[in-house]
Amino acid sequence: METFGVGMSEIVVRKGAAKYLCLGLGSCIGVAIYDPRADVSGMIHVMLPAAFPDRPVDQIGKFADTGIPALLMAMEKMGANKRNMKVAIAGGAQVFKFNNTGTNQLDIGRRNGEAVIEQLTKAGLKILAKDIGGTHGRTVTFTVPDGQVEVKTLSQGVSELCNLADNRERSAA
């Protein structure tokens, strides 16, 4: 199976078997989406909550508000349907000691989490599992067709976050 590294600001969409790797997420968020019926999957590595109105967008996948709609559209083009999409998100950490002076703006991780959830909700998608916030970096892997999403952290090692192919397995059983 081919492994696709999903670098900062990148969007990767595939039909059929694939393995995605989002390496070293700090305040960034990895969003993994799977439509098991169409066997179309995708992942994005979001860096900031929103594009700037007065700046050109150099990479559409950089911002939650431009990247998530673009990811969904690319998946739909390959035959996926929003109604069958399962979503998992991970990342959005912040620095350990955040002298809280009411400047939430400095907490990029938390704002990324809020923006990603807002975009997914706006698109009518439910989030099956999320591992966001905290103060530790994460590496996320997502494999298709088994649908497994795993999160690796330095202190906890590897753990399964969820399985985005679950429903299909259940209905087939």
Partner 1 sequence: MGVIITIDEMIDRTADLPVIPAVALRIMHEADSNTASASQIAMLLARDPALASRVLRLANSAYYGLSGQVFGLKEAVVVLGLRCVKNLALVAVSYPWLSKPLHGYGLDPKDLWMHSHGTAVAAMLAAQRSGRLRDDEAFTAGLLHDIGKLAMNVWLERKTEALIQLSSLNGWSFVECERTVLGYDHGQVGGRIAERWNLPLSVIDSARYHHEPDARPDPSLVVDAVHLGDYLASALGFGMGADGLQYALQPNTLVRLGLHPQDIDRIADDLERERRLQAESFEEIVA
CB of 165 to partner 1, least distance (A): 28
Distance in Å, CB of 88 to partner 1, minimum: 19
Interactions with partner 1, residue window 143-162 (CB under 8 A): 154-155
The residue within the footprint of partner 1, chosen from 4, 6, 9, 128 (CB under 8 A), is: 9
137 binds partner 1 (CB under 8 A): yes
**Using rule CB under 8 A, residue 106 touches partner 1:** yes
Q: Whole-number minimum distance, CB 108 to partner 1, in Å? A: 6
How far is residue 63 from each of residues 10, 22, 28, 58, 81, measured CA to CA in Å?
A: 10, 16, 10, 10, 23
Report residue 46 CA to chain centroid gap.
Answer: 7
Q: Is 171 in the site for partner 1 (CB under 8 A)?
A: no
Number of residues binding to partner 1, judged by CB under 8 A: 35
Residue numbers annotated as active site: 28
Q: If binding is defined by CB under 8 A, does position 3 make contact with partner 1?
A: no
How many angstroms separate the Cα of 145 from the Cα of each of 33, 38, 40, 54, 57? 12, 11, 9, 41, 33
Whether the upstream peptide bond of residue 145 has omega within 30° of 0, thus cis, is yes
Nearer to partner 1, 22 or 128 (CB): 22
C-alpha to C-alpha distance for 67 and 59, rounded to whole angstroms: 9
List CB contacts of 131: < 8 A, sequence separation 6 or more. Answer: 89, 90, 91, 138, 151, 161
| Interface ranges with partner 1 (CB under 8 A) | 8-9, 23-28, 47-50, 52, 55, 58-59, 62, 93-99, 101, 103, 105-106, 108-109, 135-137, 154-155
